Amino acid sequence: MKRAVCIISGGMDSAVASFIDKKERYEIVAVHFNYGQKKKKKELQAFEALVKVLEAKSYVIDLDFFKQIGASALVDRDIAVPEDGIKPGIPVTYVPFRNGIFLSIAAAIAEKEKASAIYIGVVEEDSSGYPDCRQSFIEAMQKAINLGTKDETTISVKTPLIHLKKEDIVSLGLELGVPLELTWSCYQSEEKACGVCDSCRLRLKGFAKAGVEDPIPYKTRAVL
């Protein structure tokens, strides 16, 4: 059976990507990164719940050093998560080269586990505008991974959501039977989603446009 490393944050996008991976009949090695993000307990809970449903082998990788680097509202408690809507440009929630680091570690795990694919749920256009979600970056990273590992290691980096709109991701999730009620996208809250950070706004917009009620609890629900 083919094997794939699947990077799962616990958010909606990576959950849907992991179910596409499963549908494509890969044996899944699920990887979650604790990088000091503000709602890490809630994300880890979501990851563990998804791993059970997926019946996957899993790695939880602690990356405490992201706090040493800082420079992002997701890991630095002195930088507030913006709540006033998505603006043009790269937001303060951008974590320097986060997906580059995640993909590098996933590549090491893939080489060890003899996996032939890495799944990552990045979204390019309908997103917060992070540079490490662009297709051009993913392609360059795939090339670097294949040149920097053993010649017999061949890894394809799969981004099944990269050109989708959020509403398509919601619909696809429902179609694939993804337990969206187990996923967590909010950047800052752990009891009820804040409903006003960029990630909540994008998720709420997706559900609204798909004409479906988001099953997770919100403090408030911003209109995008």
User: Under the rule (CB under 8 A), what is the footprint of a copy of itself?
Assistant: 59, 61-66, 68-71, 90, 94-101, 103-105, 107-109, 111-112, 131-132, 134, 136-137, 140-141, 143-145, 147-151
Nearer to a copy of itself, 23 or 143 (CB): 143
The dihedral built from the CA positions of residue 94, 92, 37 and 220, taken in this order, carries a sign that is: negative
Kindly state the smallest distance separating residue 105's Cβ from a copy of itself, in Å. 6
Kindly state the smallest distance separating residue 162's Cβ from a copy of itself, in Å. 14
The dihedral built from the CA positions of residue 216, 8, 122 and 190, taken in this order, carries a sign that is: positive
Kindly state the smallest distance separating residue 130's Cβ from a copy of itself, in Å. 9
Structure token digits, residue 18: 């992991």
Nearer to a copy of itself, 35 or 187 (CB): 35
Kindly state the smallest distance separating residue 142's Cβ from a copy of itself, in Å. 9
Return the residue matching tokens 């446009």. 209
Kindly state the smallest distance separating residue 206's Cβ from a copy of itself, in Å. 24
Nearer to a copy of itself, 48 or 190 (CB): 48
Nearer to a copy of itself, 15 or 115 (CB): 115
Nearer to a copy of itself, 34 or 221 (CB): 34
CA 221/CA 200 separation, integer angstroms: 8
Are the C-beta atoms of 130 and 94 separated by less than 8 Å?
A: yes
Cβ within 8 Å of residue 208, ≥6 positions away: 167, 224
CA distances from residue 191 to 22, 23, 27, 92, 221 in whole angstroms, order as listed: 29, 31, 32, 23, 15
CA 197/CA 213 separation, integer angstroms: 18
Half-sphere CA count of 54, side-chain side, radius 13 A: 36
Cβ within 8 Å of residue 204, ≥6 positions away: 195, 214, 218, 221, 222, 224
Nearer to a copy of itself, 109 or 222 (CB): 109
Kindly state the smallest distance separating residue 98's Cβ from a copy of itself, in Å. 7
